[in-house]
Chain A
Amino acid sequence: QLQLQESGPGLVKPSETLSLTCTVSGGSISSSSYYWGWIRQPPGKGLEWIGSIYYSGSTYYNPSLKSRVTISVDTSKNQFSLKLSSVTAADTAVYYCARHRYSGYDLRDFDIWGQGTMVTVSS
């Protein structure tokens, strides 16, 4: 059964770069049917898509975050990663990684999620 697990620091200082990794187990990240995405949720608020990556390295980003976001993939480790630069308190959130279904033409829904990891931006 496919599982996703986020890992990374739970505390990041303002103006620094948030870095998280998602490890995929029970299946291959190199599937033609899926992208792999990051979604975040500030405390008590709704969900925001950050971006998604294909095993080939092709990416889609949320335009509102695009200037600060880099998503990369390491197929040899079955992992993909998120970097968010110049963070502020507004970036404090639970960060989820998820499998993003792909039609071959466009992105669809998120069918499998990691448990999420809380990241707090504070000095």
Chain B
Amino acid sequence: DIQMTQSPSTLSASVGDRVTITCRASQSISSWLAWYQQKPGKAPKLLIYKASSLESGVPSRFSGSGSGTEFTLTISSLQPDDFATYYCQQYNSYSPRLTFGGGTKVEIK
């Protein structure tokens, strides 16, 4: 199985900060990675797919990069609505299961 490790697990930041979250795969997944945002009591929302493609309707301050085993989600200027937990998800076709990272909670500093 492919394991997904996110870091940090918690991040404290202020409005306007540039924020970067990392997701590492235990083996290469090419660019088959998605990022989600989840707010308390709500379902996850797809932000980024195929490592760097912005889902329709998602603000352009969100961006994704990486390939192989290391990926990043960047929020260029953190907004009040962005305080949430972020998850990565791999969907490598050669893995028998789809797996999520453990999550990164972005808190107000």
Contacts and interface: CB of A to CB of B under 8 A. Distances in A.
A47 B91 contact: no
Contact of B100 (A48, A105, A114, A115): A48
Interface string A17-51: 00000000000000000000000000000111100
B96 A49 contact: no
Interface residues of A, number: 21
Contacts of A49: 97-100
Interface residues of B, number: 24
Nearest to B87: A47
Interface in B56-109: 87, 89, 91, 93, 96-103
B31 to A, nearest CB: 11
A26 to B, nearest CB: 16
B8 interface: no
Interface string A112-123: 011110000000
A120 B49 CA distance: 32
Interface stretch (B10-18, B20-28, B38-46): B38-46
A84 B103 CA distance: 25
Given A46-B87, A110-B34, A111-B55, 16 more contacts: A46-B100, A47-B44, A47-B87, A47-B100, A47-B103, A48-B100, A63-B97, A105-B93, A108-B32, A109-B91, A110-B44, A110-B46, A110-B89, A113-B43, A113-B44, A113-B45
Interface of A: 46-49, 62-64, 96, 98, 101, 105-111, 113-116
Interface of B: 1, 32, 34, 36, 42-46, 49-50, 55, 87, 89, 91, 93, 96-103
